[in-house]
Structure 1
Amino acid sequence: MRRKRLLFYAFCVLLGLILMLIAAYWSYYGELPFGIGRGRAESPIVNVLLLGVDSGVGQGNRSDTIILFSFDKRDGHVSALAIPRDTQVRIPGRRGVDRINAAHAIGGPALAVRTVEQLLGVDIDYYVRVDFDGFRAIVDALGGVVLDVERRMYYEDKAQGLKIDLQQGLQRLNGDQALQYVRYRSDGMGDISLVDPVKGEYAGRVERQLKFVRALARQAISIQAVLNAPELVTQLLRTVSTDMPPDVAVRLALLAKQMAVQDVETAVLPGTGATVGGASYWLVNEAKMKEVVNKLVLRRSDMVRVQVLNGSGIDGQAARAADVLRREGFEVVTVGNADRFDYETTVVIPRPGRTAEAERVAGVLGGRVQGPEPAAGGQSGADVTVIIGRDAPGRRL
């Protein structure tokens, strides 16, 4: 049976439901029926790894959905970083490379956590492991989800025991139909596709799942959901395991309760699909990954936002400069073309008050720091604009 995979946005709401139900159960009964761990030392940011597995929450299943949620207790900010299941990694204690979803099958949530920590270079405080079959039951316990299905969706694979059969139009989806909707990928985009390398835009099932999760969020706060709370708790306990202490669950549940779906800052681990040695992998873009982790997970406020423009007329110069800056910890907000292509030297232009940041950029790329200009950065919100000149090929690009 093909694994029931729910990617990315659907779990933003699902994790919120899980946290709130954990808190509700603990507040009512004063205990939790599953084991809990201590987590890590007190920190303003709490990182929770969500692992989606096939039927049952045993160790032997691959985690086909992996999302790192980061909760900032200082201001309530919540972010979610989706890690494609085929991401190529080195799993601690093993030789060679593997797909990241193999870590859970080999060593359970503990090894999955270690693998993600090694990949991203961050500490993970807790994990929440979800049985996908339980998601269907939770949707049913909510009374279904009202959704406008945008197209006729039909796909059948008898060998895999898979059938997706949904009509177009506004309707109430039960748990099984909801799974069909979020699993449908017969649109040429698959699980995930890089559609714009410059802007870092990805497509696939993500847009449909965002639509679904909004509908799920509306249903989750309905009167029907409140009336069905005991059944939701029952389903939760059957399908979730975690090492999160109840007091932490309560605090995070309060944060999740206040967050609107559109307020959750989301990203996909940057990379591109490729076939290596006959196997399909998601190959991570190391430079862009560092930028995303700094922004979403670590929330570093000292990152310099840079706009990179090609003023040399040489194809790829701006993109190469952007990669160099990302590797050095700068946040590249836009990559594009300058107003002309006859710049002989690279020019670094700061916004007022950002001269020191411009000098840091020039220290990496070279070039001449120009006087501050109020319009530098334009609508991109960049602190510094770099116009790559014809002298760039002789530098570290």
Structure 2
Amino acid sequence: MKKTMIIVAIVVSALILVAGAFALYLYVSFSSTANDMHAPIDREGSNIRSEQINFEDNDPVSFLLLGLDAEEADYGRTDTMIVVTVNPGDQSMKMLSIPRDTNAELVGRGWNDKINHAYYYGGEKMAMDTVEHFLDVPIDYIVTVNMDGFEEMVDAVGGITVINDLEFEYAGEAFQKGELELSGKEALAFVRMRQDDPLGDSGRNERQRQVIEGVLREGANMSSVTSIGSILDAIGKNVQTNMEFQDMIDMQNYEPSIHDLEQLTLSGEHARLDGVYYYVVDELDKERVSNKLQEHLELD
């Protein structure tokens, strides 16, 4: 992801707050936020799972999270692609970051390309269909995040705490080893750095995981109406989803799932195909990850 996964806190955590002590205030405020966020797409549903998700029955659900960078917004390519599955039955979440340069078939185009180009060619629908086909896992909903607003969202929860294992500098920020308190600006730089990390994308994915968990943790502890209002305001300005408001409200029973978050990875290797740089995913490892996600979604 690059700096995003904050959306997990948006789709789930913000809903949790709706059921809290400020329920009436939050319901009214969140309904306004949900209207700002809502962006319907021309897609009837998953090609793999035909049944409609029923949140009142606590059905497992999946999301595709897309992070859009300001510097790439004109080109429509997503810097971050994350698949999140939520299972309220065993109260857990799984999150898979798909490397942006992954070689994959673009559904609807008839050729392979970098997977993050799907959004450029076909918007949300092609991105959902392409990721679904690539992983053989149903994608129920999509959420796009304007990464320009990342700092605002982190600051809205009062900053986050992370444990840093690699001393480095990036974007004018210096990060020492050990426990760090990060503002929105610092968190943005913390998750952006990749080239100087000896672990590459794996190292960045670990930093992203910490940022997500930090946001979830701090967001769940918010008790001030003013603070919650700031979070909802930041969300409304920077997030869009095809999810309906009532579905968001019905998801409040999914809250315990955010406390058990597992991050998955796809192994592979970098290669040049016809002169173009790609990340080529190991097919056996992709099958392993696919099976794990299917099991988490309780698919037959």
Normalising by the smaller structure, the TM-score range is 0.7 to 0.9
Distance in 2, Cα, partners of 1:178 & 1:285: 31
Residue matched to 1:175: 184
Distance in 1, Cα, partners of 2:120 & 2:40: 21
Indicate how the Cα distance of structure 1 residues 153 and 267 shifts in structure 2: closer, same or farther if over 3 A, else same. same
Query: How far is 1:218 from its partner?
Result: 3.0
Q: Is the 8 A contact 1:142 1:225 kept in 2?
A: no
* Count of residues in correspondence between the two structures: 277
Task: Find the residue that maps to 2:108 and give its secondary structure.
Answer: coil
Query: How far is 1:19 from its partner?
Result: 3.2
Task: Find the residue that maps to 1:228 and give its secondary structure.
Answer: helix
Query: How far is 1:147 from its partner?
Result: 3.7
Q: Is the 8 A contact 1:153 1:165 kept in 2?
A: yes
Residue matched to 2:56: none
Indicate how the Cα distance of structure 1 residues 234 and 299 shifts in structure 2: closer, same or farther if over 3 A, else same. closer
Q: Is the 8 A contact 1:59 1:109 kept in 2?
A: no
Task: Find the residue that maps to 2:111 and give its secondary structure.
Answer: coil
What are the within-5 Å matches in structure 2 for residues 142-153 of structure 1? 142-153=157-168
| 1:15 partnered with 2:4 | no
Indicate how the Cα distance of structure 1 residues 219 and 168 shifts in structure 2: closer, same or farther if over 3 A, else same. same
Distance in 2, Cα, partners of 1:56 & 1:253: 35
Aligned-pair Cα RMSD in Å:
3.2
Query: How far is 1:54 from its partner?
Result: 1.1
Distance in 2, Cα, partners of 1:28 & 1:227: 14
Residue matched to 1:93: 108
Percent of aligned positions with the same letter in both sequences? 30
Code of the aligned partner of 2:229: P
Indicate how the Cα distance of structure 1 residues 109 and 169 shifts in structure 2: closer, same or farther if over 3 A, else same. same
Code of the aligned partner of 1:42: Q
| 1:125 partnered with 2:135 | no
Structure 1: state its 5+ residue gaps: 156-161, 192-202, 304-397
Which one has the largest radius of gyration?
A: 1
Distance in 2, Cα, partners of 1:169 & 1:266: 21
Deviations 1:322-364 (A, max 9, x none): xxxxxxxxxxxxxxxxxxxxxxxxxxxxxxxxxxxxxxxxxxx
| 1:292 partnered with 2:289 | yes
Structure 2: state its 5+ residue gaps: 19-24, 46-50, 54-58
Task: Find the residue that maps to 2:70 and give its secondary structure.
Answer: coil
Distance in 2, Cα, partners of 1:74 & 1:91: 33
Moved more, 121-130 or 75-84: 75-84
Q: Is the 8 A contact 1:55 1:132 kept in 2?
A: yes
Structure 2-normalised TM-score?
Answer: 0.78
| 1:137 partnered with 2:139 | no
Distance in 2, Cα, partners of 1:250 & 1:302: 24
Indicate how the Cα distance of structure 1 residues 223 and 114 shifts in structure 2: closer, same or farther if over 3 A, else same. closer
| 1:27 partnered with 2:24 | no
Distance in 1, Cα, partners of 2:72 & 2:273: 31
Residue matched to 1:190: 200
Give the ranges of 4+ consecutive aligned residues of structure 1 lying more than 6 Å apart after TM superposition. Answer: 56-59, 300-303
More helix as a share of residues = 2
Distance in 2, Cα, partners of 1:235 & 1:116: 27
Code of the aligned partner of 1:251: D
Distance in 2, Cα, partners of 1:171 & 1:181: 10
Deviations 1:286-333 (A, max 9, x none): 233223212223448799xxxxxxxxxxxxxxxxxxxxxxxxxxxxxx
Residue matched to 1:233: 232
Task: Find the residue that maps to 1:280 and give its secondary structure.
Answer: strand
Query: How far is 1:103 from its partner?
Result: 0.8
Query: How far is 1:102 from its partner?
Result: 0.6
Q: Is the 8 A contact 1:22 1:246 kept in 2?
A: no
Indicate how the Cα distance of structure 1 residues 273 and 253 shifts in structure 2: closer, same or farther if over 3 A, else same. farther
Distance in 2, Cα, partners of 1:253 & 1:183: 31
Task: Find the residue that maps to 2:97 and give its secondary structure.
Answer: strand
Code of the aligned partner of 2:248: A
Code of the aligned partner of 1:249: M
Task: Find the residue that maps to 2:278 and give its secondary structure.
Answer: strand
Distance in 1, Cα, partners of 2:118 & 2:279: 15
Residue matched to 1:265: 262
Q: Is the 8 A contact 2:64 2:128 kept in 1?
A: yes
Query: How far is 1:150 from its partner?
Result: 4.3
Residue matched to 1:246: 245
Deviations 1:5-33 (A, max 9, x none): 22xxx62x641333343674982254523
Higher relative contact order (CA 8 A, sep 6+): 2
Structure 1-normalised TM-score?
Answer: 0.61
